[in-house]
Amino acid sequence: MLKVCSSNRYFYKFASIKSLNTAYRSLIEKLYFIILDKQNSLMKIFTSILVLLALALIVFNITLLDFKNPLEGDSMVAFIGIAASFCAVLILLIFRISKKIEEKSNGR
């Protein structure tokens, strides 16, 4: 699979998968899709955990708000924490949607 030129510099060229037998090629493709499916499922679990943590931070920061003086002292820090956590949730949801679109466009 690996060809090396004999000179002072080494150049690596990989043989294409098409040059392999069809049985090996189909086995490699199946393994590749299994690995990608595991990565996608782990990524879904990881993003779900991060979304739950961000939502927990939103709830925690809401408890720190002082509704009599909402823009003074610790309430301002709580507002910033709520805004940051909300942005994190939005970014994670956009990331998950983009991965779904990528999977559909690749035909998996």
Per DSSP, what are the bridge partners of residue 2? 14
| pLDDT tens digits for range 73-87 | 889 999 999 999 999
User: What DSSP string runs through the chain?
Assistant: -EEE--SSS--EEEPPGGGS-HHHHHHHHHHHHHHHHHHHHHHHHHHHHHHHHHHHHHHHHHHH--SSSTTSTHHHHHHHHHHHHHHHHHHHHHHHHHHHHHHHHHT-
pLDDT of residue 54: 96
pTM of the model: 0.63
Residues 61, 89: Cα–Cα separation, whole Å:
15
Averaged pLDDT, 10-39:
62
